[in-house]
């Protein structure tokens, strides 16, 4: 084993040397310096492997070395090990093999409880309902199960059968429901609430014909979903539109560009600049542009990445009024580079993107509030939600997202951003200029001020050009 380790280290030096020298800048470090650094790395690896007081896992040791290098870069560059790669791909694509339910832990029974079945999925067709307790999976009790335990069992290859035993509300006996897993595509284009047939209602105000569309993520199929929703609204005679990008962490750069192109006829959508890649820019095309109805876009401090590309594009082209809070400030592009025969991956920041005006979006470390970063709502349309407003928003949102026989609930919560948008658009439709008499911007007290935590970073986007 020691001999194999030493041979491996001998091959490691020329391999790393060849890979690194291809990108080395001659005026920074000479070739021989690179060789010495890599030689030191290989010798360190060999010494640890041979002489450390305890046996070491070579795989874990190498992954730790990779993580150590990445820690010297930015927060968005990281290594995705084999055991996390599937979950990462699912989060980016918003699709997986499963039965189509959202679950949580019921605190009273300590059992899995169905938050909501997803429309059109095996669980939905099989009669699984919101509030059902999942008592069994494949005949085995779920007592003490975590959400992760349920995901590990219920997810699987499409076509595979699985059965669950549920306890419906008011029932005393468990109902066994046989299901067949399918490819579940998580909807990323949502409405305000569900219709009676469980489909989304995208028309928020029937009287004034104001549409409402929520984008939760920018996945492979978001643009197609959006086009369908816009077509439905057009058939209903939509006259104004609200796009909600709040709490949207981003996603695919290609989707942000494609969606921006739906609403903008001409001009630059976004440009990218990188050290080892040529500057690129994407422009809008008139063909396929949606009708020029008044638009408002809702953003908040958790709208990031692709959300900022879309909102910045619509703002710079004066295509929409931006309402809410200053966005997250993530103006960097990551390439997802397969490693080890696509068993793992490296997510590496390779470029920065800039809005059509050329202004910076990225919030660099140490950036201050008065620095230029992120997307700022239009003047007169800024409102920072308090912690209580955010809590009430999520409670209201969760209740409306559930598919329940009782239908959408009556809510006492008035969404401040949504109200501002509705007042703005209805005033425009009535012939006004849409500008409120008083600024709706809210001054927070010291107790209400909130900061974005570094460890609550949003999902990063996959670059348009993957290596």
pLDDT averaged per 10 residues, the chain (length 467): 43 45 49 81 90 90 90 89 84 81 83 84 88 91 87 89 91 93 90 89 96 95 96 97 95 95 97 86 94 96 95 98 96 88 90 91 87 94 94 88 70 90 96 79 43 42 35
* Residue span of the structural domain in which 177 resides: 95-185
Claim to verify: residue 291 and residue 395 sit in the same structural domain: yes
Asked if 330 is an active-site residue, the reply is: yes
Catalytic residue of the set 330, 347, 384, 462: 330
Claim to verify: residue 295 and residue 421 sit in the same structural domain: yes
pLDDT tens digits, 388-429? 999 999 889 888 888 776 666 677 789 999 999 999 999 999
Residue ending a domain, choose from 81, 116, 136: 81
Q: Domain of 145: which CATH number?
A: 2.30.42.10
Asked if residue 59 is part of any domain, the answer here is yes
| pLDDT given for residue 440 in this prediction | 54
* HSE of 210, CA atoms in CB hemisphere, 13 A: 23
- Cβ atoms within 10 A of the Cβ of 363, count? 20
| pLDDT given for residue 459 in this prediction | 47
Catalytic residue of the set 219, 305, 327, 352: 305
| pLDDT given for residue 439 in this prediction | 55
Residue ending a domain, choose from 81, 106, 138: 81
| Dist CA 408 CA 419 (whole Å) | 19
Q: Supply the DSSP string of 211-246, one letter for each residue.
A: EEEEE--B-TTHHHHHHHHHHHHHHTT--EEEEE-T
Claim to verify: residue 42 and residue 103 sit in the same structural domain: no
Q: Domain of 272: which CATH number?
A: 3.90.226.10
Catalytic residue of the set 316, 327, 352, 415: 316
Asked if 72 is an active-site residue, the reply is: no
| pLDDT given for residue 407 in this prediction | 62
- Cβ atoms within 10 A of the Cβ of 150, count? 19
| pLDDT given for residue 274 in this prediction | 85
Q: Which helix (H) or strand (E) holds 137?
A: strand 133-137
Asked if 33 is an active-site residue, the reply is: no
Percentages (nearest 5) of helix, strand, coil residues in the chain: 30, 25, 45
Claim to verify: residue 301 and residue 416 sit in the same structural domain: yes
Q: How many domains, in total, are found in the chain?
A: 3
| Dist CA 272 CA 360 (whole Å) | 11
């Amino acid at each position: 084993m020691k001999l194999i380790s030493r041979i491996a280290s001998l091959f490691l030096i020329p391999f790393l040397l060849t890979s690194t020298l291809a990108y080395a800048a001659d005026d920074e470090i000479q070739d021989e310096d690179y060789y010495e650094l890599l030689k030191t790395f290989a010798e360190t690896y060999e010494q640890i492997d041979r002489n450390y007081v305890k046996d070491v896992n070579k795989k874990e040791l190498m992954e730790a070395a990779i993580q150590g290098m990445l820690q010297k870069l930015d927060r968005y560059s990281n290594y995705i090990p084999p055991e996390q790669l599937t979950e990462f791909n699912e989060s980016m694509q918003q699709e997986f093999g499963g039965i189509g339910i959202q679950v949580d832990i019921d605190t009273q029974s300590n059992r899995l409880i169905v938050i909501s079945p997803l429309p059109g999925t095996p669980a939905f067709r099989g009669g699984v309902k919101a509030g059902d307790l999942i008592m069994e999976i494949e005949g085995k009790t779920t007592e003490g199960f975590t959400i992760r335990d349920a995901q590990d069992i219920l997810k699987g290859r499409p076509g595979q059968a699985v059965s669950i035993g549920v306890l419906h509300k008011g029932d005393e006996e468990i109902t066994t429901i046989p299901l067949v897993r399918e490819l579940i595509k998580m909807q990323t284009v949502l409405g305000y609430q569900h219709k009676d047939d469980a489909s989304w209602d995208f028309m928020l105000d029937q009287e004034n014909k104001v549409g409402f569309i929520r984008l939760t993520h920018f996945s492979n199929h978001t643009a197609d979903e959006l086009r369908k929703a816009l077509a439905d609204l057009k058939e209903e005679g939509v006259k104004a539109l609200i796009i909600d990008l709040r709490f949207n962490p981003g996603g695919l750069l290609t989707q942000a560009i494609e969606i921006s192109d739906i609403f903008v006829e001409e001009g630059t959508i976004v440009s990218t600049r990188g050290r080892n890649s040529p500057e690129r820019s994407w422009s809008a095309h008139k063909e396929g542009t949606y009708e020029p109805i008044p638009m408002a876009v809702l953003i908040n401090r958790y709208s990031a990445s692709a959300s900022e590309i879309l909102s910045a594009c619509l703002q710079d082209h004066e295509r929409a009024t931006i309402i809410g809070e200053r966005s997250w400030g993530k103006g960097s592009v990551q390439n997802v580079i397969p490693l080890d025969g696509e068993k793992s991956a490296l997510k590496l920041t390779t470029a920065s993107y800039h809005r059509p005006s050329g202004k910076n979006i990225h919030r660099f470390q140490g950036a201050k509030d008065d620095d230029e970063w992120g997307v700022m709502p239009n003047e007169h349309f800024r409102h920072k939600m308090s912690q209580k407003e955010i809590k009430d928003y999520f409670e209201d949102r969760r209740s409306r997202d559930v598919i329940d026989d009782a239908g959408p609930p009556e809510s006492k919560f008035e969404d401040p951003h949504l109200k501002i948008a509705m007042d703005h658009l209805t005033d425009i439709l009535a012939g006004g200029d849409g500008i409120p008499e008083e600024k709706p911007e809210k001054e927070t007290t010291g107790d209400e001020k909130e900061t974005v935590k570094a460890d609550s970073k949003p999902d990063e986007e996959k670059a348009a050009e993957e290596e």
